Amino acid sequence: MLPLADAYGRVATDLRVSLTDRCNLRCSYCMPAEGLDWLPDDQTLTDDEVVRLVTIGVRRLGVQEVRFTGGEPLVRRGLVDIVRRTHDLGVETSLTTNALGLQRNAQALRDAGLDRINVSLDSVRRETFHEVTRRDRLDDVIAGLEAARAAGLGPLKLNAVLLRGLNDDQAPELLAWAIERGYDLRFIEQMPLDAQHGWSRAEMITADEIYAALSAEFELTPHGEPRGSAPAELFDVDGGPATVGIIASVTRPFCGDCDRVRLTADGQVRNCLFARDESDLRTAMRAGATDEELADRWVVAMAGKLPGHGINDPSFLQPDRPMSAIGG
Ligand code: SAM
Ligand code: SF4
């Protein structure tokens, strides 16, 4: 087994696989209203190619956990089969999704061996949800969440991004809603990964602001356990057992503990969300590279991982690919 190690002592074991860059929402912090120029089909990995690369990651490179994401992974037709074949490799599988269509697929995904699911939900007010995502689909998300729970896909995690002037007044309301239903909520600081380059350091809602907004209505106490490579700072809410997470990706980066590696829908290895270089496994694979050769390329790609994302450096440059094409 070759570990996916870098020069700073980190070893990647958590593989994020983007299954498509397409999406049925248009969250304003992620993509423009008109969408993007989607990857052409011939550049997108086939189901067999995805499974082959995931298998190399697991069998040769020490990957222990595989999370499928996108774009929106539920729009990928082969998702259930890909999950089943990944589960059969004996690793934990999970999904990050906006939950549109989850109502139809939750049981099939559970039966295929999916272990966990994270759902993105930024508001439980219909108008605000519509404004943030540019689609009036809150009811579908809620139905998807309920279907996931009924299928045994718990504990369900919710991810929320707060945007100034849009939903930044709704953090306590979202937390109360999640606690009432037994969902674990985490707030994520908005990062400079939107396709339209609209992020601004001055405008983003910081982890400290999120903490202050929640503290106005709940008593938050540190959850005790050290966070390890998990990005969320966890707090007990009103003495527990409910908790809330705050992910301070920008203001308190956790790059030193990062154990992630990413594979894009077109077969590029990225050693960081913010990497400016990629390693093209698709072209090598289609040119006939063996599993061993692909594994070697992957190891080299990881060895060059930088110590941190550098968002706070004056010289920071946003990656060319937006979040939806990298896989969040
Ligand atoms: N479509 C799926 C979803 O929304 O869950 C999966 C892909 S999405 C890119 C993955 C996660 O990235 C979501 O939780 C979303 O809120 C988050 N995200 C997207 N753009 C972001 C940004 N600029 N800053 C922080 N998080 C972002
Ligand atoms: Fe789609 Fe997820 Fe991006 Fe929203 S955050 S537009 S749901 S990919």
CA of 73 to the centre of ligand 2 (A): 10
The number of the ligand 1 atom at minimal distance from the alpha carbon of 191 is 24
Question: Can you give the pLDDT at residue 229?
Answer: 59
Determine the residue type at 217: E
Determine the residue type at 112: A
- Name which residue sits closest to atom 8 of ligand 2, judged by CA: 71
Question: Can you give the pLDDT at residue 313?
Answer: 78
Question: Can you give the pLDDT at residue 328?
Answer: 76
- Is residue 187 a contact partner of residue 246, using CB atoms and an 8 Å limit? yes
Question: Can you give the pLDDT at residue 230?
Answer: 65
- DSSP code per residue over 89-128: TT-EEEEEE--TTHHHHHHHHHHTT--EEEEE---SSHHH
Question: Can you give the pLDDT at residue 194?
Answer: 86
Question: Can you give the pLDDT at residue 226?
Answer: 62
Q: Is 190 in the pocket of ligand 1 (CB under 6 A)?
A: yes
Say how far apart CA 301 and CA 171 lie, in whole Å.
Answer: 39
- With a cut of 50, list the residues of the chain below it in pLDDT: none
Say how far apart CA 151 and CA 173 lie, in whole Å.
Answer: 26
The two tokens of residue 97 are 């999704």
CA of 318 to the centre of ligand 1 (A): 16
Question: Can you give the pLDDT at residue 311?
Answer: 83
- Name which residue sits closest to atom 4 of ligand 1, judged by CA: 98
| CA separation, residue 291 to residues 57, 87, 261, 305 (Å) | 10, 20, 18, 22
CA of 292 to the centre of ligand 2 (A): 34
- Is residue 73 a contact partner of residue 112, using CB atoms and an 8 Å limit? no
State pLDDT tens for residues 28-68.
999 999 999 999 999 999 999 999 999 999 999 999 999 99
pTM for the complete prediction? 0.96
Question: Can you give the pLDDT at residue 228?
Answer: 61
Strands 14-18 and 65-69: parallel
Token pair 């994270």 is found at 118
Question: Can you give the pLDDT at residue 227?
Answer: 61
Domains with residue ranges and CATH for the chain:
4-326 (3.20.20.70)
Say how far apart CA 86 and CA 90 lie, in whole Å.
Answer: 7
Nearest CA-CA partner of 189 in 220, 228, 162, 215: 162
For residue 60, what is the enclosing H or E element? helix 47-61
Question: Can you give the pLDDT at residue 218?
Answer: 98
Of the ligands numbered here, which is closest to the C-alpha atom of 117?
A: 1
The number of the ligand 2 atom at minimal distance from the alpha carbon of 23 is 1
- Is residue 85 a contact partner of residue 17, using CB atoms and an 8 Å limit? no
Of the ligands numbered here, which is closest to the C-alpha atom of 160?
A: 1
Question: Can you give the pLDDT at residue 316?
Answer: 81
CA of 328 to the centre of ligand 1 (A): 5
